[in-house]
């Protein structure tokens, strides 16, 4: 297949940020396509600068290109000016490595990290030259796959995607490759049976094929989603990599030629979280916790810095400060003589109850990277409901540690629109922020505390999946209440996410298969890049809903009952439904649940579903955290999987 580069090159002077489309990154692979090799186009459905740092995509990129029977290249969503130029010139979606058309690939695989990219997914399938709907594709058409956190409710994209891969992709991607390779080699394109491919894929653990499942409705409400025959599993369970040490990826991180977000070396230190924050989908669906060995972390950092030339490292996870011996790991990185004391460390997703003066001192040795803490709720009452068990003292101690080590700016992240929320909880955000400013001024004359506020969207596979989210009007009212309160504190800045976008996110994340027609209508009305504030338009979603006979209230704002069918009931994230419902009832009763790494097992299902044992990580949690149950436990104790009352 000939490269499209000569034509693409002529378009670049006419568009903004042409470096998005040229490729040439350090670490990029230019594989040789040919017989016996399944060709994958890995697609991030947002702009290059947003998508390039995505670790999930880079991990699959390396794994596939190490296989003798696969090749992989990458593509990103062209910005609206480039898309217009491409369509006018007849240029389809192309790879950034060799600028090959999408038609040169056997598999188009999308990473779904945010729901508002769904219209981009539809747009890119169309730009690739494929039939929009999976049901209309034949033996010569590429297989469309999708994975990522959003895949845990696959139904809104079910019309467009051939198969979803749920959970960790390291092992699954090779199994999918083998199935596709056998299908391609079995017969010429005109004789290939796509239904046979779907059925083969459906036998793989963690692979969901929407065409083999059908939703049922009574009086306009979903009552079930089930397989079309007994040969298809009734429930599809996520894939879980048991030992991260077996997968030291990405080992050749891509280094772009142009500015991107998170432009630094990224090393994953652990996967999963058992803190039990009830609002957090990522923490629920990625259980159990699996730490990467500290020695491997250091090796990945050392080799990555030498190869890339970066002078900043981000240690990634859902709660990096919970990593075993985090202070020692940071110290080893910043003090490594091979790097001459020039490498700084950034820790995202910091929990204030695990952040100490010692950690702050290690981080700021080279330079003070940004610090963001996430109390989430403005009062202890609210944080008990959501199970974010950090006290005001935890927060003030972390902020004091930061300002004492020279930081002048700290960012706090909160949610509004949470279950049982009152105005006093919203006002508590301003009170916490103002107090943090006062603490900062003990150490610095001029400090800034930024409180960033997002509207809560109840996500699938969390205890709050039954909750009806706040309306736009109610979220806007709470923002006004908060802004008025914050005006009394000099040094406190309030920023907020557009409440309208939160509602659209709720539609895309909580809808059933009927939402596919809504997404298609939004796309046909020009609604791409809906996650970008300058492009977002709620009226497109409202018009599309009305045209399909649906409503925002029905999808987003009403609470669900215990026995109501949910669009994702046939998808398992490894968590028992009765565990999630019990946790929802505990939230309403303001009953807190401790991190199960310091307690006996709660029988959530995450360990037993994947054949792992519940392991006590430490007899006591990290400094500042919850104090456990007081049982006599030792490091590494294996606990029988028996249900422990969450109220105990």
Q: How many structural domains does the chain have? A: 3
Predicted confidence at residue 608, as pLDDT, reads 74
What parts of the chain have a pLDDT lower than 50? Answer: 619-620, 622-648
The DSSP string of 533-557 is: TTT--HHHHHHHHHHTT--HIIIII
Report the predicted TM-score, pTM, of the whole model to 2 decimal places: 0.93
pLDDT in tens, 47-85: 999 999 999 999 999 999 999 999 999 999 999 999 999
CATH number, residue 201: 3.40.50.2300
Pick the last residue of a domain from 193, 216, 233. 233
Are the C-beta atoms of 571 and 156 separated by less than 8 Å?
no
Shared-domain flag, residues 275 and 185: no
Which value, to the nearest 10 degrees, does the dihedral of the CA atoms of residues 572, 575, 581, 585 take?
Answer: -150
Are the C-beta atoms of 323 and 291 separated by less than 8 Å?
yes
Predicted confidence at residue 609, as pLDDT, reads 60
Shared-domain flag, residues 303 and 196: no
Distance CA 184, CA 40 (A): 13
Give the residue from 223, 213, 227 showing the smallest Cα distance to 161: 213
Predicted confidence at residue 617, as pLDDT, reads 53
CATH number, residue 321: 3.30.750.210
**Domain limits for position 28:** 5-233
pLDDT in tens, 562-580: 999 999 999 999 999 999 9
Predicted confidence at residue 615, as pLDDT, reads 57
Shared-domain flag, residues 31 and 167: yes
- In the numeric block, which tokens belong to residue 341? 């004391």
Distance CA 404, CA 444 (A): 8
Distance CA 519, CA 540 (A): 10
Pick the last residue of a domain from 233, 254, 274. 233
Shared-domain flag, residues 225 and 303: no
Shared-domain flag, residues 102 and 148: yes
């Amino acid at each position: 297949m000939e490269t499209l580069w000569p034509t693409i090159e002529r378009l670049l002077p006419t568009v903004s940020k042409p470096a998005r489309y040229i490729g040439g990154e350090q670490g990029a692979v230019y594989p040789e396509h040919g017989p016996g090799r399944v060709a994958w186009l890995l697609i991030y459905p947002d702009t290059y600068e947003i998508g390039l740092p995505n670790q999930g995509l880079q991990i699959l990129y390396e794994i596939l290109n190490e296989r003798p029977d696969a090749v992989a290249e990458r593509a990103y969503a062209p910005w609206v000016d480039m898309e217009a130029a491409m369509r006018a010139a007849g240029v389809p979606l192309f790879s950034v490595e060799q600028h090959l058309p999408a038609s040169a690939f056997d598999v188009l695989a999308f990473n779904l990290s945010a729901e508002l990219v769904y219209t981009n997914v539809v747009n890119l399938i169309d730009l690739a030259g494929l039939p929009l709907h999976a049901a209309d594709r034949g033996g010569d058409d590429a297989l469309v796959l999708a994975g990522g956190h959003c895949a845990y409710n696959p139904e809104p994209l079910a019309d467009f995607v051939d198969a979803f891969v749920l959970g960790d992709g390291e092992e699954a991607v090779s199994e999918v490759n083998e199935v596709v390779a056998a299908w391609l080699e079995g017969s010429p394109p005109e004789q290939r049976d796509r239904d046979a491919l779907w059925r083969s894929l459906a036998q793989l653990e963690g692979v969901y094929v929407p065409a083999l499942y059908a939703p049922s409705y009574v009086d306009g409400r979903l009552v079930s989603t089930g397989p079309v025959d007994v040969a298809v599993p009734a429930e599809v369970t996520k894939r879980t990599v048991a030992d991260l040490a077996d997968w030291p990826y990405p080992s050749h991180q891509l280094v772009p030629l142009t500015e991107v977000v998170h432009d630094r070396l990224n090393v994953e230190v652990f996967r999963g979280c058992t803190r039990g924050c009830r609002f957090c989908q990522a923490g629920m669906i990625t259980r159990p916790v699996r730490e990467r060995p500290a020695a491997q972390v250091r090796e990945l950092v050392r080799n990555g810095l030498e190869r890339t030339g970066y002078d900043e490292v981000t240690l990634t996870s859902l709660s990096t400060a919970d990593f075993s011996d985090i202070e020692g790991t940071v110290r080893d990185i910043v003090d490594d003589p091979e790097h001459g004391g020039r490498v700084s460390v950034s820790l995202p997703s910091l929990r204030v109850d695990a952040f100490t003066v010692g950690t702050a001192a290690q981080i700021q040795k080279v330079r003070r990277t940004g610090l963001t803490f996430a109390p989430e709720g403005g009062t202890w009452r609210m944080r008990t409901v959501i199970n974010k068990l950090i006290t005001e003292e935890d927060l003030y101690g972390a902020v004091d540690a930061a300002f004492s080590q020279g930081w002048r700016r700290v960012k706090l992240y909160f949610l509004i629109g949470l279950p049982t929320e009152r105005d006093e909880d919203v006002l508590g955000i301003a009170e916490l922020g103002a107090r943090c400013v006062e603490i900062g001024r003990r150490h610095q004359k001029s400090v800034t505390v930024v409180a960033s506020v997002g509207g809560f969207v109840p996500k699938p596979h969390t205890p709050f999946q039954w909750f009806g989210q706040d309306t736009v009007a109610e979220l806007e009212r709470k923002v006004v209440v908060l802004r008025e309160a914050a005006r009394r504190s000099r040094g406190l800045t309030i920023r907020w996410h557009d409440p309208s976008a939160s509602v659209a996110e709720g539609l895309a994340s909580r809808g059933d298969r009927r939402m596919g027609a809504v997404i298609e209508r939004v796309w046909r009305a020009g609604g791409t890049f809906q996650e970008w504030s300058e492009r977002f338009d709620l009226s497109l979603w409202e018009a599309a809903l009305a045209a399909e006979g649906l409503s925002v209230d029905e999808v987003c704002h009403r609470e669900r009952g215990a026995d109501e069918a949910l669009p994702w009931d046939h998808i398992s994230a490894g968590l028992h439904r009765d565990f999630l419902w019990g946790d929802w009832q505990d939230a309403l009763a303001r009953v807190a649940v401790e991190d199960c790494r310091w307690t006996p097992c709660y029988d959530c299902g995450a360990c037993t579903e994947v054949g792992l044992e519940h392991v006590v990580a430490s007899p006591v949690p990290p400094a500042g955290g919850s104090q456990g149950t007081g049982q006599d436990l030792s490091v590494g104790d294996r606990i029988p999987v028996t249900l422990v009352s969450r109220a105990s």
